[in-house]
Amino acid sequence: MRPTYLEVNLSRLKQNLENIRTKVAPAKVMTVLKANAYGHGIDGVAPYIAPYADYIGVALAEEGIHLREIGIDKPILVMGGTLPEQVPVFIQYDLTLAVSSPELLDAAEEAAQAARTKLKVHLKIDTGMERTGVHEYEAGPFLEKSLSCSHLGIEGIFSHFANSEMPDLIHAKLQLERFNDVLSFYEKRSVPHPPIRHLANSGAVLQLPESYFDMVRPGVMFYGVYPGREVKRTVEVKPALTWRSRVAYSKVTQPGRPVSYGSLWQPQSPARIVTIPCGYADGYFRRMTNRAQVIVNGKKYPQVGRICMDQFMVNVGDDDAKVGDEVVLFGEGITAEDLAEWAGTNEYEAMTSISARVPRVFVQ
C-alpha cells in the first residue's frame, strides 16, 4: 500500500545475464546476489534468476541460508570472511566455503570429518586486494596442505581485483600475473582435476578477457550498472531498477519561508513545493540535500530543503503538481551514477542502501 516502492524488471536482469554469458563463453557465470541482490530484493530476484545462473555468490553465511530456505538449490559460494565456528552451518545448508587461511582450512577439515561428509571449498588467494586470502607468495604451502584434506572437496580457487574498472590496468594485470603464477602449482603437481579458477568481477568482464578462466563473477553490471564512468562498456547492460513514489502534499511557499530542518533553502519568489513520502530511513541519503533531482509528471525538478527521515520536498516552481502525481527518484532518466554523485559515494552504496522498508515490486 505504500506509495514509495522499487520496481524491479526481472526480464532485464535475465537479458543482462545473457549478454554477459555471450561475452565470456565458454566460461561459466556466478551471479552475485549479496546485499539483498544489490538492493533489488533477494526474495524476488533469486527464484527468478537462479535457473539461468551456473553458480550464486553471496557475502554472508546468513545470505546463503536464506537462499536455501526460499528453495534455491544452485551451488552457493559464501565469499566473505567466515569464522571457524561457523563452518558447521556450511555443512548443514550445503554452502560452499571460501577458505582464506590455513587455520580456516584446518577448521573446515575437522568439521567435515566430524560430520562424516565432504565439504566443498574454494581457496581464496590475495593477489593485491589486501582484504582476505593467503598472499600469492605464501600460497604454495597452503595449496599443498589443501591436497591432504581428505574431507574437503577443493572445488575452486579464486582471487579478487582491486582496480579492474580503471582506465589504467597496470595493477589489475599485476594481480592477474600473480594469480597465474599461483595456478601453476597444479600443473607442476600434475593434479588430474584442478579446481575451478575464477577472478573476473564486473570491471574485468568488461576490460580483461584474459582473466575469464573457468568462471566470472559479475556483480553490479548484472544489475545494469557499469562499475565506474571510465570503464569500457564492452557488454550492453541496462538498469533493472526504478524507484517510484507519489506526491503526498502540495502547497505554494512564499519567500522568507524556509523549507525543512535547518532552514537551508527558501524560494526567491512564490513556488509550489511538493512533499514526497520517502527519506533517509529509506536510503534516500540526507547528504543529497539541495543536490538531488526527481522526476514529477515526466519532468525533472530539484529537491530542496533538508531531506528528512521519512519525507523530502521538491520545488516544481510555477508548474502544477497535485497529491497523487507520479514521482521517479531513480530510473527513467535518473541514473545510479547521478545518485552516487549527489551523495558523494559510488553506485554500489547508492543501490545497496535502499532500505528493506521500501517495498519491492517485481515485473517482467
pLDDT per residue as tens digits for the range 217-245: 999 999 999 998 899 999 999 999 999 99
Predicted confidence at residue 214, as pLDDT, reads: 98
Residues 108 and 246 grouped into a single domain: no
Residue ending a domain, among 223, 258, 292, is 223
Predicted confidence at residue 91, as pLDDT, reads: 98
Q: Is 261 a catalytic residue?
A: yes
Total domains, the chain: 2
Number of Cβ atoms within 10 Å of the Cβ of 287 = 12
Residues 43 and 129 grouped into a single domain: yes
Q: What global pTM score does this model have?
A: 0.94
Residues 126 and 257 grouped into a single domain: no
pLDDT per residue as tens digits for the range 101-124: 999 999 999 999 999 999 999 999
Arithmetic mean of pLDDT over the chain = 97
Compute the average pLDDT of residues 263-286.
Answer: 98
Dihedral sign for Cα 220, 225, 227, 232, please: positive
pLDDT per residue as tens digits for the range 141-179: 999 999 999 999 999 999 999 999 999 999 999 999 999
Q: What SS3 string covers the chain?
A: CCCCEEEEEHHHHHHHHHHHHHHHCCCEEEEECHHHHHCCCHHHHHHHHHHHCCEEEECCHHHHHHHHHCCCCCCEEECCCCCHHHHHHHHHCCCEEEECCHHHHHHHHHHHHHCCCCEEEEEEEECCCCCCCEEHHHHHHHHHHHHCCCCEEEEEEECCCCCCCCCCCHHHHHHHHHHHHHHHHHHHCCCCCCCEEECCCHHHHHHCHHHCCCEECCCHHHHCCCCCCCCCCCCCCCCCEEEEEECCEEEEECCCCCECHHHCECCCCCEEEEEECCCHHHCCCHHHCCCCEEEECCEEEEEECCCCCCCEEEEEECCCCCCCCEEEEEECCECHHHHHHHHCCCHHHHHHCCCCCCCEEEEC
Conformation bin of residue 40: beta by default, left when phi > 0, alpha when psi is -120 to 50: alpha
Could you tell me the CA-to-CA distances from 301 to 124, 292, 342, 343 in Å, in that order? 47, 9, 14, 17
Predicted confidence at residue 245, as pLDDT, reads: 98
Split at pLDDT 50, 70, 90, the class of 83 is very high
**Do the domain assignments include residue 96?**
yes
Residues 181 and 258 grouped into a single domain: no
> Which class for 137: exposed (0-12), middle (13-18), buried (19 or more C-beta within 10 A)?
exposed
The cell for 350 is: 547508492
- Residue 261: which domain range? 241-363
Rounded Cα–Cα distance for residues 356 and 178 (Å): 40
Q: Is 34 a catalytic residue?
A: yes
Catalytic residue among 137, 232, 249, 261: 261
Answer whether 156's CB lies under 8 Å from 198's CB.
Answer: yes
Q: Which long-range contacts (CB under 8 A, 24 or more apart) does 261-264 make?
A: 261/305, 261/306, 261/308, 262/306, 264/289, 264/290, 264/305, 264/306
CA dihedral 276, 279, 283, 287 (to 10 degrees): 110
Residue ending a domain, among 223, 255, 286, is 223
Answer whether 121's CB lies under 8 Å from 155's CB.
Answer: yes
**Do the domain assignments include residue 284?**
yes
Split at pLDDT 50, 70, 90, the class of 1 is confident
Answer whether 350's CB lies under 8 Å from 314's CB.
Answer: no
Rounded Cα–Cα distance for residues 21 and 33 (Å): 16
Least Cα distance to 98 among 116, 85, 83, 112 occurs for 83
Helix axes 42-49, 10-24, angle to 10 degrees: 50
Residues 67 and 182 grouped into a single domain: yes
Residues 219 and 248 grouped into a single domain: no
Give the CATH number of the domain where residue 205 resides.
3.20.20.10
**Do the domain assignments include residue 1?**
no
Rounded Cα–Cα distance for residues 310 and 177 (Å): 49
**Do the domain assignments include residue 232?**
no
Predicted confidence at residue 192, as pLDDT, reads: 87
Catalytic residue among 34, 226, 301, 348: 34
Strand-pair partners of 32: 57
pLDDT per residue as tens digits for the range 292-333: 999 999 999 999 999 999 999 999 999 999 999 999 999 999
Residues 210 and 252 grouped into a single domain: no
The cell for 168 is: 589504467
Compute the average pLDDT of residues 79-96.
Answer: 96
pLDDT per residue as tens digits for the range 38-71: 999 999 999 999 999 999 999 999 999 999 999 9
Residues 180 and 299 grouped into a single domain: no
Residues 56 and 183 grouped into a single domain: yes
Residue ending a domain, among 178, 197, 223, is 223
